[in-house]
Amino acid sequence: MTYLRRYWPIGAVAVLAFLPYAGISVPGVFDGPLNSPGTLQLLALCLLFGGLATGYDLLFGRTGLLSFGHALFVALGAYGADVLIGKAGLPLAVAAPAAILLGTTVAAAVGAIALRVTGIAFAMVTLAFAQVGAILAARDAWGLTGGDEGLALDVSGLPSGLVGVVNTYKLYWVSLAYLVIVMIVVRRTVSSPTGRVLAGLRDDERRVGVLGLNPYAFKLFAFVLAGALAAAGGVVHLLLVQGADPKIAGSELTLSLLVMVVLGGPGTRYGPLLGGVLYTYLDYRLTHVAGGLPGPLKQPLFVLGVVFILAVYFFPGGIAQLRLTALRRAVG
């Protein structure tokens, strides 16, 4: 049993990696077989946002920092790689690390300023920076972002194996690899001495200061690491949708990530991942079936809001609480 509990994530990753070879149909859940391009595209987005939510939880659930500017770093990764590939003519192998470095650097600068304040003031400062980024993207700053229409990806700068519908399964594997990397990084961080300090900051920042540690430095570390993971997610998003859109720079994305974390269970190992996958799947499916629903049910956001309210009401600890509740009942 201990062996199973320890190594089941490896089995889960192996199963997910095998899905592009599975021609199984799940009527009512997906529009086509599991290995069809449309289904793999949806699954790739679910895995991507599961990773983004897990990275955001490093701030919100693990450190207790409510940031409204996380989308800025996702946008920097997407737009940065897109501009470097399309405008500068760099290959993906160079553009992707450069875009992630850009997102990490900006995260360090924003965090250095925003973390000078706490609470709602911190949230508002991060929101202000994100709004600046969203405005620049929407107004085609310096002729680089494409304005409201976004910036299409120049696929000539990509490896041929990542271009075309026929290669959707490879992009799915890219999303899976991103999720695995995020899970490993976050897990290693929270289980390290630094992670225990971050948990202490979440619970009682003054106690950490009394112990002679520097709360500001540890919070800045968490902010920068989360920003780097978000920028990497932005690059993956660029590859999946073949372009960068101003929507990923807006505060709506950060709010969606917050909902994903709360839905799954903040500060838990797999809760944010499950919340991200479920939210993304429902958002996609409701958009496609909402037209045939009556009244306000035609609005996907209305249905998502109702689902979220019910989930929070019945499971305030998120989806992760279901497992804990089942364990308690089994023991008791």
Range in 115-124, 149-158, 179-188, 192-201 with the lowest mean pLDDT:
149-158
Residue 194 CB neighbour total at 10 angstroms: 15
Across residues 104-121, what is the average pLDDT?
A: 95
d(CA 2, CA 8): 10
Of 281, 238, 263, 254, residue with least CA distance to 320: 263
Q: What is the mean pLDDT of the chain?
A: 88
Query: Phi, psi at residue 242, to the nearest 5°?
Result: 60, 40
Contacts of 148 (CB under 8 A, 6+ apart): 138, 246
**Is 293 a residue whose pLDDT tops 70?**
no
* Rg of the chain (C-alpha set): 20
| pLDDT: which is higher, 320 or 34 | 34
Name beta bridge partners: 152. 243
Domain boundaries defined on the chain: 2-331
User: Which residue, among 285, 174, 278, has the nearest Cα to 232 in the 3D structure?
Assistant: 174
Could you tell me which residues are beta bridge partners of residue 244? Answer: 151
Mean predicted confidence (pLDDT) in 270-294: 80
Burial class, 74, CB count within 10 angstroms (exposed 0-12 / middle 13-18 / buried 19+)? buried
Q: How confident is the model at residue 325 (pLDDT cuts 50, 70, 90)?
A: low
pLDDT tens-digit map of 94-111: 999 999 999 999 999 999
> What confidence tier does 24 reach under pLDDT thresholds 50, 70, 90?
confident
* Of 65-74, 154-163, 193-202, 286-295, minimum mean pLDDT range: 286-295
The secondary structure of 70-121 as a DSSP string is HHHHHHHHHHHHHHHHHTS---HHHHHHHHHHHHHHHHHHHHHHHTTS-HHH
Q: What is the mean pLDDT of residues 67-71?
A: 94
On the question of pLDDT at 11 being above 50, the answer is yes
- In the chain, the percentage of residues whose pLDDT exceeds 90 is 57
Is residue 328 over pLDDT 60?
no
- The CATH number given to 2-331 is 1.10.3470
pLDDT value for 323: 63
Task: Give residue-wise pLDDT tens across range 209-252.
Answer: 888 889 999 999 999 999 999 999 999 999 999 999 888 988 88
Query: Does residue 307 surpass a pLDDT of 80?
Result: no
pLDDT at position 332 is 47
Please report how the helices 119-138 and 92-114 are oriented relative to each other, as an axis angle in degrees rounded to 10.
140
Which two structure tokens, joined as six digits, stand for 281? 């799947």
In three-state secondary structure terms, 220 is helix
> Residue 289: what pLDDT?
61
pLDDT at position 294, please? Answer: 59
- Stretch among 106-110, 163-167, 183-187 having the lowest mean pLDDT: 163-167
Phi, psi dihedral angles at 271 (to 5 degrees): -60, -55
104 near 227, Cβ under 8 Å? yes
**pLDDT at 304 > cutoff 80:** no
Here the contacts of 159-163 (C-beta below 8 Å, separation 24 or greater) are 159/92, 162/92, 162/239
Burial of residue 262, with CB atoms counted within 10 A of its CB: 0-12 exposed, 13-18 middle, 19 or more buried: buried
Contacts of 55 (CB under 8 A, 6+ apart): 182, 186, 226, 229, 230, 233
